[in-house]
Amino acid sequence: MNTRRFTMMPGPRPLPLLGNSWRFALRQKPWVTFSLDKTLWYLKNLAGSCGAAKVAKLFGHPDLVFPFCADETARIYRREDTMPHRAVAPCLKHYKQVLKKEFFGEEPGLIGVHGMAWSKFRSKVSKALAAPEAARAVVPTLHYVAEDFICRMENILDENRELPKDFLTELYKWALESVGAWALGTRLGCLQDNDTEAQDIIRSIHGFFHSVPELELSAPLWRLYPTTAYKTYVNALDSFRSLCLKRLTDKGICAHIAQSHGRKVATILALDLLLVGVDTTAAAAASTIYLLARNERVQKRLQEELDANLITDKEMTCKDLDQLPYLRACIKEALRIKPVILGNGRCIQSDAIISGYEVPKGSHIVFPHYILSNDERYFPSPQEYVPERWVREDFDRINGYTEEFNYGMKRESLHNAEDMKSDYCRAKSIWQKQKEVGIHPFASLPFGFGRRMCIGKRFAEAELQLLLAKMFHKYSVRWRYGELTYSVTPTYIPNEPLQFTLLRR
């Protein structure tokens, strides 16, 4: 195959001295940090079918290469070293290795580092986190967090049974309470109105996640002087570190780490779990609830599965979750359409040929999972929410298409029956096309891949499954507004209020 030089790869042209950073500084479309989804679609158009595009000469960053091909993504992931390098988050690195060097020392954690230091730390904590039994064991604990959150939802409904405009903040509270329960072994009090410490934590969470795009994606002015975003970021990290030191108990996953590797390692792990396990899980819950609320066919099918397998007021266990394959498919399909992270990355440690171009060592390869998982090549009718894509059974069997199904539709009003049948036929057609295409294993990777895959994946999945199972078992959820728009903060979250309507079943 003929290879082309790196300079020939399409991408925005950098200016002398200014590079391409000026585009983000001026916030000219599509170069806006909060709209990186649009930036990725722009780059895909530049790259063409199965090609790649680059963004070179960004202040404080290596050249970025975006391969828009699942086969290329697979090749790069599979050739990576035993110690995969991700681009370091400069501000987090500065916090750990400069500002708080006396605390972190030789224990940098999992986030914002790579190489031998990362590998050594991961070897200390991976067994406690990655083992399937670890996540399964905490399901009863997470059950009570979800139960408390369902009670809280009922209490904050208005007279129209609509959730408040700040419901996304409530989801942050639930996610933080969940991480505290399984990681620190304690309830943080985030679901109580009168816990001032918990409210301070929530404020820190918001300040932290809204400052990240400005610090890590825009020109690094914080290196010259302490910007407002930088101060917010550092104060939040200090609060999280203090929380982890104060609330670490003799229970939870981190307690096992403390016993074998000391409280310091356990505290640093807890900090990293807070940094990556709150906004991501909250965003995943928000998008899944939204897509289910907009799709009556899917919601009814999910509720049939829940009705058949769950007993109201009974403590849920991992065995209960094992009986809910359609729920898992609903989550996978939501994370395909609205992944919480738009892309993942690796810094290649040797020269490579990527999409036919010679890419030099040190370049940062960004896998645009959001684009691939919404690409017609891999997912027919990609914007259609069809969880059946992920279930191996026949479509009619999944949906119980029998005489009882026909009778159920006849009981609906004529208009609703026609709508239901139309939705059913459209979804089945998409499922058939997906079956013909198959699902490329690297086209949708919401948790990443390889040794740097999200280490808390199984815990996040358990949290989501428990919350959604309880919520949709108890309520029919409605969405009465227009289509949500999304921003990158750095997770992919809705802009508009999440005012879902909850109707008791």
Binding-site residues for heme sit at 454
Strands across the sheet containing 344-347 = 52-55, 64-67, 364-367, 344-347
On the question of a cis peptide bond just before residue 30, with omega within 30 degrees of 0, the verdict is: yes
Of 122, 82, 55, nearest to 365 (Cα)? 55
Contacts of 351 (CB under 8 A, 6+ apart): 358, 359, 360, 361
Alpha-carbon gap, residue 229 to 91, rounded angstroms: 11
Alpha-carbon gap, residue 204 to 225, rounded angstroms: 21
For strand 64-67 and strand 352-354, is the pairing parallel, antiparallel, or unpaired? unpaired
- What is the residue-wise DSSP string for 417-458? HHHHHHHHHHHHHHHHHHHHH---TTS--TT--GGGS-TTHH
Cβ atoms within 10 Å of 384's Cβ, excluding its own: 17
Hey, is 66 helix, strand or coil? strand
Beta-bridged to residue 55, according to DSSP, are: 64
Tokens standing for residue 360:
């030099």
Of 63, 80, 77, 113, nearest to 363 (Cα)? 63
Q: Are 187 and 180 in contact (CB under 8 A)?
A: yes
Which own/partner pairs from 449-452 qualify as long-range (CB within 8 Å, at least 24 positions apart)?
A: 449/77, 449/344, 450/77, 450/80, 450/84, 451/80, 451/82, 451/83, 451/84, 451/122, 452/84, 452/86
On the question of a cis peptide bond just before residue 368, with omega within 30 degrees of 0, the verdict is: no
Binding residue positions = 454
